Amino acid sequence: MTDHADSPPIRRLADWDADLLTRLATEHGTPQYVMDLDRVKQNYARFSAAFPGAHVMYAAKAHTGSAVLEALLEVGADIECAAWGELQRSIEAGADPNTLQYTAVNPPDHDLDYAVDLAEDAPGLTITIGARDTLDRLAERGYDGRVAIRINPGIGTGHHEKVATGADAKFGIPYEQVPEVADRVREEFDLVGLHAHAGSGVLTDGLEDHCKAIERVGEMARRVGDDELEFVDVGGGYGVPYREEEPPLDLDVASEMVRDAVGELDATLKLEPGRYIVADAGLILTTVNTIKEAPDTTVVGVDASLATLVRPAMFGSYHPMYNVSAPERDPHEVTVGGPVCTSADVFAHDRPIARPERDDVLAIGNAGSYGYELASQFHSQPRPPEIALEDGEVRVARRRETLDDVTRVEQ
């Protein structure tokens, strides 16, 4: 494979080819998602190179599109899945089910049934449990295969309280209960690893808190006998800078701090980046349809909405924006919102953007992670297409939905 480890650590929105984006908007309409699969592969290679000797899996929940999964499988990535649909889609993309890890969080019966059935023919599948109940339910299904225990380290990190999973009781076995649970797993199943995930969107200045959680995972691994474990999985959570002035994550610093925090282990270190791999590889193209001068701001209406990208409404997330049609115009502070009937449908307030005019194409950056995955059909809006870029070629990875697609399941 091509060595992408030396690629730039972050791709800013202005680094995209404006002529190409203009052509894509003309040929495929807006709103649309664009995913640069070459960048996906570069990001995976760079991350893997920073953690030599570790087992780096891709956290599929960040973007489960088949084009992304196939690109990552092509460069040797394994995949971590959080739901049965991600397991199935990974297999359909070409993954060997023996290499998959299923991290069950309050798994519905259907999910567990699917995973247990899958393991009958793929004994290499690993099921990560975060509750004693899940062990009971696995035993009821006759499962006695590979199990990893998800630890709740009691420390959460990340860009928003809603992603600080390490301190959320929903996730993982309470820390002091882990040795007892490990004893049970050894008796009834094949205990292969420990797992924890502290949070999401961590940059260099947040690594200290992130590594406090990892330190507890390493301590617990040695406490339960890391020489008997195959791996210690410290999750993902490695972020990208959404704001233009933020520096990218320093992977060399991250690697050193993570290894120092987890300490000496006989088991293999495992990591699960998701956002880091796909965020800056994707963007949204949207067309300006309305310019309205209001007393306190200029409102710029676009055809993308919170149904296209919900992160600003859900997390208050900042996404960079760029006027693809006229980047040379003087910046003008504007409020950018979509056509959905709620005040939450706003991408930016008082944001300086090269002065937008009707029919301009705007790009919304860092949309490759948790973008299309969280897209909806609110207001009966068909979801947009996803255009894939790879090796100089352009293809439609997902076509634009129609209203027939929206209503197809109705009876």
pLDDT tens digits, one per residue of 16-49: 999 999 999 999 999 999 999 999 999 999 999 9
Indicate whether 391 pLDDT > 90: yes
Q: How confident is the model at residue 3 (pLDDT cuts 50, 70, 90)?
A: low
Q: Which residues of 380-396 are buried (b: 16+ CB within 10 A; e: fewer)?
A: ebebbbbbbbbeeeeee
The three-state (H, E, C) secondary structure of the chain, written as one string = CCCCCCCCCCCCHHHCCHHHHHHHHHHHCCCEEEEEHHHHHHHHHHHHHHCCCCEEEEEHHHCCCHHHHHHHHHCCCEEEECCHHHHHHHHHCCCCHHHCEEECCCCCHHHHHHHHHHHHHCCCCEEEECCHHHHHHHHHCCCCCEEEEEEECCCCEECCHHHCHHHCCCCCEEHHHHHHHHHHHHHHCEEEEEECCCEECECHHHHHHHHHHHHHHHHHHHHHCHHHCCEEECCCCECCCCCCCCCCCCHHHHHHHHHHHHCCCCCEEEECCCHHHHHHHEEEEEEEEEEEECCCCEEEEECCCCCCCCHHHHHCCCCCEEECCCCCCCEEEEEEECCCCCCCCEEEEEEEEECCCCCCEEEECCCCCCCHHHCCCHHHCCCCCEEEEECCEEEEEECCCCHHHHHCCCC
The reply to whether 273 sits in an annotated binding site is yes
Tokens (6 digits) for 85: 């649909």
Does residue 237 have a known ligand-binding role?
yes
Asked if the structure places residue 5 within a domain, the reply is no
Q: Is the pLDDT of residue 76 over 70?
A: yes
Positions marked catalytic = 341
| CA dist., res. 411 & res. 408, Å (int) | 8
Q: What is the pLDDT of residue 159?
A: 41
Sequence-distant (6+) residues with CB within 8 A of 40 are: 68, 71, 72, 277, 278, 281, 368
CATH of the domain at 108: 3.20.20.10
pLDDT of residue 362: 98
| Residue 188 in domain | yes
Q: What is the pTM of this model?
A: 0.95
Strands 268-271 and 101-103, how do they pair?
unpaired
Final residue of a structural domain among 250, 273, 296: 273
> pLDDT tens for residues 265-279?
999 999 999 999 999
In a domain, 298, yes or no: yes
**Same domain, yes or no, for 269 and 288?**
no
For residues 252 and 326, membership in a common domain is answered with: no
Where a domain ends, among 273, 300, 322? 273
Q: Mean per-residue pLDDT for 382-389?
A: 98
Residue 228 marked in a binding site: no
Same domain, 264 and 286: no
- Which of the listed residues 224, 240, 273 is the one where a domain comes to its end? 273
The contacts found for 178-181 with CB under 8 angstroms, 24 or more apart, are: 178/149, 178/151, 178/220, 178/223, 178/224, 179/220, 179/223, 179/224, 181/132, 181/135, 181/149
The position carrying tokens 């650590």 is: 9
Domain residues for 222?
Answer: 96-273
Q: Is residue 272 marked as binding?
A: yes
Confirm whether 18 is domain-assigned. Answer: no
Q: Distances from the Cα of 173 to the Cαs of 134, 154, 178, in angstroms?
A: 11, 10, 6
150 is in an annotated binding site: no
Predicted confidence (pLDDT) per residue in 344-368, tens digit: 999 999 999 999 999 999 999 999 9
The answer to whether residues 239 and 297 belong to one domain is no
Q: How confident is the model at residue 4, as a pLDDT? A: 75
- Find the range with the poorest average confidence among 110-124, 146-160, 192-206: 146-160
Whether residues 245 and 345 fall in one domain: no
Confirm or deny that 370 is annotated as ligand binding.
yes
Which tens digits make up the pLDDT trace of 149-174?
A: 999 998 755 443 444 444 578 889 99
Query: In terms of domains, do 264 and 317 share one?
Result: no
89 assigned to some structural domain: no
pLDDT, tens digit, 9 for 90 and up, residues 326-344: 999 999 999 999 999 999 9
Q: What is the CATH number of the domain that holds 363?
A: 2.40.37.10
